Amino acid sequence: MKEDVIESGNATKSFLDQANINNVAIAEIILIVILCICARIFIKKTKNHFIAKTRKAQKEQKVNASTAQLLLTTITVCESIAKILVLIIGALSCLAAVNISVSPVVYGLGFISLGVSLGAQDTFTDIFRGLLTLIEGKVSPGDCLSINGRVGYVETLTIRQIVLRHFDGSLESFPYSKISTIQNFSLGYHVMACSYCIASDSDVEEFEEFTREVLESMRRDRVWGEFLTEDTQPHPSLEFESVWNTCIKITVRVRTKIDPEDDFASEFNLRMLRKLQNTKMLRVVK
């Protein structure tokens, strides 16, 4: 037992002699630690500065939401990489200060990196596809997407995944490596279609005037006006699909922004019913 203690003490002494730990080396290590701390503080302040400028530019509408999201994600990733580099360089510098060869450590880090890369292929795929998605700018927070057949609004758009909020309020995450199909409804438009059957002896021009009044009232509405696109026609289009002896079927169509639950159509239909309920022209509503 006593011999083991003596051998252990000799090994420790040999290591200290080999490492050449002295006052100068300790001073160098302290200086390296202080520099690393200062570097991390500088990195954090720089990140906060650029994040504040990006959010201010987005608020002032100098950049769109997709570009702002890309910048925020890039800033966060750069901060993480910079902190890791500072930590690695600081550790290697401390070892060099006590005359310990850093070659085995470098080789070890290389093998660890290789193992991590092989075990985290999906993660790297997520990051690569996420960067491409953010750079292309075809998806933005608030867009209505269909991902792998699941429809919802983009709640969060990160470098690794897209989080959808479904119409029932639930959230679902989709890593980019697991996305097979994606469709962005917000980049296109939606055509609202409401069909009515009116009496054959009704005044069609009066019915058309009702549709114009309803559309105009919804255009002026703060909520429903947001559904209308810049190229929405000033008046609804009317299609006479079929005519019977007792009634005429008319389909009212209006181009709107994406409306998965047909909220605009429901409101339009409700306002039309209020106008038609005091007339004798209405027969059937579909």
Task: Examine residue 199 and state whether it is found in any structural domain, yes or no.
Answer: yes
What does the pLDDT look like over 127-161, one tens digit per residue? 777 777 766 667 777 778 888 888 888 887 777 78
Question: Are the CB atoms for 94 and 32 separated by under 8 Å?
Answer: yes
What is the rounded CA–CA span in Å between residue 208 and residue 242? 17
Are residues 37 and 106 located together in one domain of the fold? yes
Domain extent at residue 152: 137-186
Are residues 216 and 260 located together in one domain of the fold? yes
Other beta carbons within 10 Å of 12: 10
What does the pLDDT look like over 41-94, one tens digit per residue? 998 898 888 888 888 877 777 766 666 766 777 787 788 888 888 888 888 788
Are residues 83 and 52 located together in one domain of the fold? yes
Are residues 92 and 142 located together in one domain of the fold? no
Amino acid at 237: S
131 by Cβ neighbours in 10 Å (0-12 / 13-18 / 19+) ranks as middle
- How open is the CA angle 191-196-200, to the nearest 5 degrees? 140
Are residues 197 and 265 located together in one domain of the fold? yes
Task: Examine residue 100 and state whether it is found in any structural domain, yes or no.
Answer: yes
Structure pTM?
A: 0.44
Question: Are the CB atoms for 147 and 162 separated by under 8 Å?
Answer: yes
What is the rounded CA–CA span in Å between residue 84 and residue 68? 25
Task: Examine residue 127 and state whether it is found in any structural domain, yes or no.
Answer: no
Task: Examine residue 132 and state whether it is found in any structural domain, yes or no.
Answer: no
Task: Examine residue 124 and state whether it is found in any structural domain, yes or no.
Answer: no
Task: At 180, list the tokens.
Answer: 């097979």
Spatial CA neighbour of 159 closest among 81, 69, 83: 69
Are residues 41 and 61 located together in one domain of the fold? yes
Which of 90, 119, 148 lies at the terminal end of a domain, its last residue?
119
| pLDDT higher than threshold 60 for residue 3 | no
Q: What are phi and psi of 266, to 5 degrees?
A: -65, -40
Return the bridge partners of 81, or none. none
Q: What is the CATH number of the domain that holds 141?
A: 2.30.30.60
Question: Are the CB atoms for 177 and 125 separated by under 8 Å?
Answer: yes
Give how many domains the chain has, as a whole number: 3
